């Protein structure tokens, strides 16, 4: 569908802009996603070793 659009003589600049937005936003989403997974894994490891925060011990 995208190939059907004729963007004229400056098409490369237009597609370059949209590509840059897609790339940077995808990298941002991926970084946040993997960072979240990593923190959850670290938290689960610590909790499985029986480590509790003082506030959780009651």
Partner 1 sequence: MQNQSITQRLANPTRFMQLTDWLMPLTAAIAVVVIAAGLYLALFVAPPDYQQGETVKIMFIHVPSAWLGMMGYLMIAISSFGLLVFRHPLADVSAKAAAPIGAAFTLLALITGSLWGKPMWGTYWVWDARLTSVLILFFLYLGLMALRSALDDESLAAKQAAVLGLVGVVILPIIKFSVDWWNTLHQPASVVKLDGPAIHSSILVPLLVNAVGFSILFLALHMKAMRNEVLRRRVKALRLAEVERAAKRERTAAAPAE
Distances (CA, A) of 33 to 23, 30, 37, 45: 15, 5, 6, 19
Question: Would you say 53 and 45 are in contact if contact means Cβ atoms under 8 Å apart?
Answer: no
Q: Interface with partner 1 includes 58 (CB under 8 A)?
A: no
CA 55 to chain centre: 31
Instruction: Report the nearest approach of partner 1 to the CB of residue 23 (Å).
Output: 9
Contact pick of 3, 30, 48, 52 for partner 1 (by CB under 8 A): 52
x/- track of binding to partner 1 for residues 10-39 (CB under 8 A): xx-xx-xxx-xx--xx-xxx-xxx-xx--x
Element (H, E) at 46: helix 11-48
Binding site for partner 1 (CB under 8 A): 2, 5, 7-11, 13-14, 16-18, 20-21, 24-25, 27-29, 31-33, 35-36, 39-40, 42-43, 46-47, 49, 51-54
């Amino acid at each position: 569908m995208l190939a059907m659009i004729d963007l004229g003589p400056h098409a490369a600049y237009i597609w370059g802009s949209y590509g840059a937005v897609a790339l940077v936003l995808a990298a941002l989403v991926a970084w946040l996603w993997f960072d979240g997974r990593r923190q959850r894994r670290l938290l689960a490891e610590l909790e499985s070793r029986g480590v509790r925060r003082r506030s959780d011990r009651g």
